[in-house]
Amino acid sequence: MRVTDSIAFPENQDITGNKVGGVDAAKVKGQPESVGFSQDETELSADLQKVQELKTQLATIPEVRQEKVQQLQKAISDGTYEVDSGKIADAMIADLAGQ
């Protein structure tokens, strides 16, 4: 099968709505020239803008809360850090349950 540039879509239009072969499809049908395909438009929603703002704010927050880490290190080195095994067990069960 041979494909050439002279292949036209129905009513002498190409896929963009432009005339093919010197014939305007809108004029052939007796309709005004403004009939055709609409332009694509993009509009950013307020939600997207908010997400972008939050991402910017998040980038300024450090991943490690150094103050908290220092407090825990001091408590461990002083021997005052206590582990609540009940809380750990509850957290593990909740994690397994998908809560």
Buried b (16+ CB within 10 A) or exposed e, 77-92: eeeeeeeeeeeeeeee
The tokens describing 21, both together, are 């072969």
- In this predicted model, what pLDDT tens digit does every residue of 44-71 receive, in sequence order? 677 888 899 999 998 888 888 899 999 9
Residues recorded for the chain: 99
pLDDT of residue 7: 54
Quote the pTM value. 0.34
Domain boundaries, the chain: 1-38, 46-97
Is pLDDT above 90 for 96?
yes
d(CA 56, CA 60): 7
Mean pLDDT of the residues in the chain: 76
- Paired with 20 in beta bridges are 23
Query: How many other CB atoms are there within 10 angstroms of residue 31's CB atom?
Result: 12
